[in-house]
C-alpha cells in the first residue's frame, strides 16, 4: 500500500464530501436505515479527526439536503436526533483540537432543539483556528443561490449596492459559504456519479472523486486513497500544462 507516499505539503486545503450509502449499507445487512445513519455518524467522527491530524483546513459535509425533508418522518426525526447528539457530543473535542464549526443551508427549517445545539456549537467554537468543519444542513446549492440572489437584490433595493458592481467575488461572498475557499476536492461515496445539488457555485474547479465504498464503511484508508488520487492530478484551472509549469505553483 502506497499510503506513505502522501505528500503533506500538497494536501487539498478544502475537502467536501457527499456522504452517501447509509441506507444501502443497512439494507445489505438486514438492518434499519437508521442503523446505517448511526454508523455513518461514526464515519463522520473518524474522518473529521483524521482530516484534522493530516492538516486539512476545511472539511464540508453534506449532512442533510433540502430534498431529505421528503423522507419518511421517522427517518428525518432520527437524522435530526443524530445531528443533535453529534453536536452535543463532539463540542468538547472541537474545543480541545481547535475545530471551528459553521453551517450552510436554511437553518430556519431545522427543529428548534437542533437549531439551538447548532448555534451553541457555532458560538462556542467561533475563535478556533486549526480546522473548520462546514455542516451542510437543510442545504441545496440551488436554494443557496436563490437566497444569495435575494440578499443582493435587497441590498440593491436599499441602495447599498450598485447592480453593475456585482462580480464573482461579490456573488461568492453572499453565498452561505461566505469567505470559505472553494473545495479543492469533492468526494462522493457509494458509487453514484452525481453532484446532487451540493456546492454548485463553489465546485467550479474542484477535482471530483467517486468511490464505491458506502459512507458507513468510509474510514481512514478510504480518505487516504482519495487524497493520493487527488495528488496524482494536475489542476489546470483552464490553462495549459506548459503554462502551469512556468508558474510558481
Which residues make up the interface to ligand FPP (CB under 6 A)?
Answer: 19-24, 33, 37, 40-41, 44, 61, 63-64, 68, 82-83, 86, 135, 190, 215
Our CB check for ligand FPP shows the closer of 68 and 128 to be 68
Q: How do 207-210 and 185-188 pair as beta strands?
A: parallel
Give 162's contacts (C-beta < 8 A, 6+ positions apart). Answer: 156
H helix runs in the chain, sequence order: 22-28, 33-54, 73-97, 112-125, 141-157, 168-174, 220-231, 241-246
Our CB check for ligand FPP shows the closer of 81 and 166 to be 81
Q: Assess contact for 143 and 66: CB atoms under 8 A.
A: yes
Of 144, 185, 175, nearest in space to 47 by CA: 185
Our CB check for ligand FPP shows the closer of 54 and 81 to be 81
Q: What is the distance between the alpha carbons of residues 59 and 133, in angstroms, rounded to a whole number?
A: 5
Our CB check for ligand FPP shows the closer of 148 and 190 to be 190
Q: Assess contact for 221 and 54: CB atoms under 8 A.
A: no
176 carries an active-site annotation: no
Q: Which residues of 147-168 are buried (b: 16+ CB within 10 A; e: fewer)?
A: ebeeeeeebeeeeebeeeeeee
Active-site residue, from 68, 128, 217, 229: 68
68 carries an active-site annotation: yes
Least gap, CB of 218 to ligand FPP (angstroms)? 10
Least gap, CB of 135 to ligand FPP (angstroms)? 6
Q: What is the distance between the alpha carbons of residues 95 and 128, in angstroms, rounded to a whole number?
A: 7
Active-site residue, from 4, 7, 20, 143: 20
Our CB check for ligand FPP shows the closer of 83 and 186 to be 83
Residue nearest to ligand FPP (CB): 23
How is 98-126 classified by DSSP, letter by letter?
A: TEEEEEES-GGGS-HHHHHHHHHHHHHHT
Least gap, CB of 222 to ligand FPP (angstroms)? 14
Least gap, CB of 112 to ligand FPP (angstroms)? 18
Least gap, CB of 147 to ligand FPP (angstroms)? 21
Among all chains, which residue has been given the C-alpha cell 481512514? 220
Known catalytic residues are 20, 68
Amino acid at each position: 500500500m502506497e499510503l506513505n507516499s502522501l505528500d503533506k505539503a500538497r494536501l487539498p486545503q478544502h475537502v467536501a464530501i457527499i456522504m452517501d450509502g447509509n441506507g444501502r449499507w443497512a439494507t445489505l445487512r438486514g438492518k434499519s436505515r437508521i442503523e446505517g445513519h448511526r454508523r455513518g455518524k461514526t464515519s463522520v467522527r473518524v474522518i473529521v479527526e483524521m482530516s484534522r491530524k493530516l492538516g486539512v483546513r476545511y472539511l464540508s459535509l453534506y449532512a442533510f439536503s433540502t430534498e431529505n425533508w421528503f423522507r419518511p418522518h421517522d427517518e428525518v426525526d432520527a437524522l435530526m436526533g443524530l445531528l443533535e447528539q453529534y453536536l452535543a457530543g463532539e463540542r468538547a473535542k472541537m474545543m480541545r483540537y481547535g475545530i471551528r464549526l459553521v453551517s450552510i443551508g436554511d437553518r430556519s427549517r431545522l427543529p428548534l432543539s437542533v437549531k439551538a445545539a447548532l448555534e451553541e456549537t457555532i458560538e462556542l467554537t467561533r475563535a478556533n483556528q486549526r480546522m473548520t468543519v462546514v455542516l451542510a444542513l437543510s442545504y441545496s446549492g440551488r436554494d443557496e443561490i436563490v437566497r444569495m440572489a435575494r440578499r443582493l437584490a435587497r441590498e440593491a433595493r436599499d441602495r447599498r449596492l450598485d447592480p453593475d458592481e456585482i462580480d464573482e467575488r461579490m456573488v461568492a461572498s453572499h453565498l452561505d459559504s461566505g469567505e470559505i475557499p472553494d473545495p479543492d476536492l469533492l468526494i462522493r461515496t457509494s458509487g453514484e456519479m452525481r453532484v446532487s445539488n451540493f456546492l454548485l457555485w463553489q465546485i467550479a474547479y474542484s477535482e471530483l472523486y467517486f468511490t464505491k465504498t458506502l459512507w458507513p464503511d468510509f474510514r481512514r484508508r478510504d480518505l487516504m486513497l482519495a487524497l493520493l488520487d487527488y495528488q496524482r492530478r494536475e489542476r489546470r484551472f483552464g490553462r495549459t500544462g506548459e503554462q502551469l509549469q512556468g508558474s510558481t505553483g
